[in-house]
Amino acid sequence: MTKEKIGLPPLDWLRVFEAAGRLGGFSAAAREFGLTQAAVSQRIGNLEAWLGRMLFVREARGVSLTIEGESYLPLVQDSLQALERNTEDLFGKSPRELRVAGLSSHIHALVLPALPAFLNMRPKVRVMTDSVTRRTSLEEERTWLQIRYGRGVWPGRKAKLIAPEVLAPMAAPDVSWGAPLIDLRGERPGWQDWAQGSGIKDLPQGRISFDSVGHAMKAARQGLGVVLGSVPLAAESLQSGRLRRLDLPELKTKDGYWLTWPEDRAKSKKQRALLDDFLQALRA
């Protein structure tokens, strides 16, 4: 194939090539753009003729990128993303919707209290939440902006800390130390870890056990005992007086609550500004 032209190929050809390379075939690219497979094949053929290089190997079972195609694809992707991002920054409207996913307990304890401040900062933005029942479900969740619990490292995701996890003995106003302990099963440190750190040897007996920190703190609000509760998640209950921190040491952990999103999202200035405002409200 001889090189016929130099310079920048038509944008339409580049977009079709990027989709075919990213999705692994002409048929998938055709579905994404609402074109026929023949139309996709023609555009890529035109691009190959323009460049004077084969970008795909055509075989009976499908197509695959050539070495030149593999080298060209990330360059095209970066360029298209930069063009989209800069166009959005210059001419796009401010985002009108913020959609966030997380565990129900995190939405209730972290997002809801932050909404008045955030909506005051962004009066034209509509907020939507998507609740999941298990943290593992977040990996399959389509909502890309998520609140996660952990140490801030998830492959392919950026993360900003909302609050570090701090555990402290807490109970309803009429419950004091010596009441039955409420046990919490899971990865958070438990009463034995707290006792080692605080130097307390004799712990009261526990009578109930939960696998959810939200359920454990609800039981404490009902006066069923003393819980080693999450200070960030209990903020509203502590402020309202439904729970009170006992005069005992707290336990700082290595975990925290994070606002996270995929590395390839939120790259425009307006999107980042929206997330910065949301994060500011979450941290308040």
pLDDT at 172: 98
pLDDT of residue 146: 96
Q: Per the structure block, which two tokens stand in for 236?
A: 């509203």
For the chain, give every domain's residue range: 11-91, 99-284
| Position with higher pLDDT, 75 vs 2 | 75
174, 221 Cβ separation under 8 angstroms: no
pLDDT band at 5 (very low <50, low <70, confident <90, very high): low
What 82-86 contacts at long range (C-beta under 8 Å, 24+ apart), as own/partner pairs, is 85/267, 85/268
Detail the DSSP E strand segments found in the chain.
Answer: 56-59, 62-65, 97-103, 126-132, 146-150, 157-171, 181-184, 206-210, 226-230, 244-245, 251-262
H or E stretch including 192? helix 191-198
pLDDT at 137: 81
Give the number of other Cβ atoms within 10 Å of residue 234's Cβ.
25
Q: Give the pLDDT of residue 81.
A: 83
Mean pLDDT of all residues belonging to the chain:
91
pLDDT band for position 153 (cuts 50, 70, 90)? very high
What's the confidence (pLDDT) of residue 13?
96
Instruction: Say whether pLDDT at 2 is over 80.
Output: no
Q: Which pLDDT tens digit goes with each residue over 225-261? A: 999 999 999 999 999 999 999 999 999 999 999 999 9
* pLDDT the model gives residue 225: 97
Which whole number is the average pLDDT over 48-67?
93
User: If pLDDT is split at 50, 70 and 90, which confidence band does 136 have?
Assistant: confident
d(CA 162, CA 283): 5
Q: Tokens 């909506």 correspond to what residue?
A: 119
pLDDT at 165: 97
* CATH (residue range 11-91): 1.10.10.10
Provide the pLDDT for residue 90: 62
What phi and psi, each to the nearest 5 degrees, are found at residue 180? Answer: -55, 140
State the pLDDT at residue 94.
64
Q: Which amino acid is at 113?
A: P
CA distance to 6, 85, 164, 195, per residue, from 40 (Å): 22, 25, 50, 66
Average pLDDT over residues 64-80: 94
pLDDT digits (tens, 9 = 90+) for 81-132: 888 777 765 665 567 899 999 999 999 999 999 999 999 999 999 999 999 8
Topology of domain 99-284, CATH: D-Maltodextrin-Binding Protein; domain 2 (3.40.190)
